Amino acid sequence: MPANLTPDYLAAEKRYRQAKTDDEKLACLEDMLSAIPKHKGTDKMQADLRRRISQMKKRASESQARRRKGFSYRVPKEGAGQVVLLGAPNVGKSQLLVAMTNARPDVAPYPFTTRAPIPGMMSFKNCQIQMVDIPPVSDEHTEHWIPEIVRAADGVLLVVDLGSGDVLQQIEYPIARLERTKIKLVAAPEESCPPNVTQKKTLLIANKADMEEAREVFDTLKDRYGEQLPLIAVSAKSGVGLDELRHAVFDLLEIVRIYSKSPGKQADMNTPFTVPRGSTVLNFAEAVHKEFAEELKFARIWGSAKFDGQQVTKDYVLADGDIVELHVSSSVGR
């Protein structure tokens, strides 16, 4: 039986995809459930929505309980991917979060300013990417939970200070500290790495490029680490290099943006889905909705296909920016 989803439902689903916080997501899921037509054709979708609402409520009450006990250091992932700002004290991690995202952590000219993880969202190419600022890693003191935050992230920005005299130590110490917990910071996953070691894709961010001595220190850094990790010079204060950094973060996540289109309608080019690079039409359908994947017959593609609107099979590999029109055996989603 066709699902005949209403404009109200589709609008709520779109708001859900744009929602940044768990509270917003929960409100959208509840709107979707109240707007979905109640008949047999939508039974599975209704059950799925109820399950997601109850999971979201459970998560909210768990995090409330954790907040009552103290702050929670786990940062639930939001958006297209999560990267963590790792580094020695006072290198400008929090200033970078301010420069790149909507978050407003404390920034101060003394070490150990940041005491808890602070997430922010970076908008780039119509995607929302989560950046998490954390307390410093230092031989004086390192919060014991930092390795777990790094392990859970999709990537690491290892930040150093081009204005300081100990830039090599600012790299060596965090690398060694994480190695003790079997985390290796890498440019790209290495096949030779033992299976019990977690590899984390990392960018080396040389901050404070506006400082007088920065050029010279950057050259030293390039000689020593340029081959090992991708190196980007930035100034969180002046904005130099931040555009290159946004591109590099997007690339690090290895995602592609796919725009969904309904038959006979224009695609919404403001809110792409993001799926891992190499995803097929079927993987994309799964990301849109389980029902679409189950009922998928074929798709039409605008973008990477030979001609606009070309019909492709489920195993077609999508490219960044593709517009996809999913065709399903019932009229789910029309």
Question: Considering CB distances under 5 to 8 angstroms, the limit depending on partner class, which of Mg ion, ligand GTP, none binds residue 120?
Answer: none
DSSP string, 231-274: EEE--TTT-TTHHHHHHHHHHHHTEEEEEEE-TTS---TTS-EE
Closest to ligand GTP by CB, 109 vs 195, is 109
Rounded distance between C-alpha atoms, residue 81 and residue 79, angstroms: 6
Q: Which residues pair with 312 in a beta bridge?
A: 299
**What residue is closest to ligand GTP based on CB?**
92
Least Å distance, CB 99 to Mg ion, is: 13
Question: Considering CB distances under 5 to 8 angstroms, the limit depending on partner class, which of Mg ion, ligand GTP, none binds residue 111?
Answer: ligand GTP
How many C-beta atoms surround the C-beta of residue 92 within 10 A? 24
Specify the 3-state DSSP secondary structure of 147: helix
Closest to ligand GTP by CB, 169 vs 331, is 169
110: which residues sit within 8 A by CB, 6+ positions away? 90
Question: Considering CB distances under 5 to 8 angstroms, the limit depending on partner class, which of ligand GTP, Mg ion, none binds residue 237?
Answer: ligand GTP
Q: Is the dihedral of CA 125, 128, 129, 135 positive or negative?
A: positive
Q: Is residue 114 part of the contact set for Mg ion (CB under 5 A)?
A: yes
Least Å distance, CB 32 to ligand GTP, is: 39
Least Å distance, CB 77 to ligand GTP, is: 22
Q: Is residue 101 part of the contact set for Mg ion (CB under 5 A)?
A: no
Rounded distance between C-alpha atoms, residue 183 and residue 43, angstroms: 44
58: which residues sit within 8 A by CB, 6+ positions away? none
Of 280, 272, 287, nearest to 323 (Cα)?
272
Closest to Mg ion by CB, 94 vs 279, is 94
| Rg (the chain; Cα; Å) | 22
Closest to ligand GTP by CB, 108 vs 193, is 108
Least Å distance, CB 235 to ligand GTP, is: 4
- Given a contact cutoff of 8 angstroms between Cβ atoms, the answer to whether 324 and 258 are in contact is yes
Token code pair at residue 323 = 């517009």
Helix ranges, 72-200 (H): 93-100, 146-152, 167-179
Token code pair at residue 217 = 């220190």
Closest to ligand GTP by CB, 89 vs 272, is 89
Tell me, by CB under 5 A, how many residues bind Mg ion: 4
Closest to ligand GTP by CB, 90 vs 128, is 90
Q: Is residue 94 part of the contact set for Mg ion (CB under 5 A)?
A: yes
Closest to ligand GTP by CB, 26 vs 97, is 97
Least Å distance, CB 182 to ligand GTP, is: 24
Least Å distance, CB 131 to ligand GTP, is: 12
Rounded distance between C-alpha atoms, residue 221 and residue 205, angstroms: 11
Closest to Mg ion by CB, 81 vs 87, is 87
How many C-beta atoms surround the C-beta of residue 246 within 10 A? 16
Q: List residues near ligand GTP by CB under 6 A.
A: 87, 89-95, 107-109, 111-114, 136, 207-208, 210-211, 235-237
Question: Considering CB distances under 5 to 8 angstroms, the limit depending on partner class, which of ligand GTP, Mg ion, none binds residue 91?
Answer: ligand GTP
Least Å distance, CB 138 to ligand GTP, is: 8
Footprint of Mg ion (CB under 5 A): 93-94, 113-114
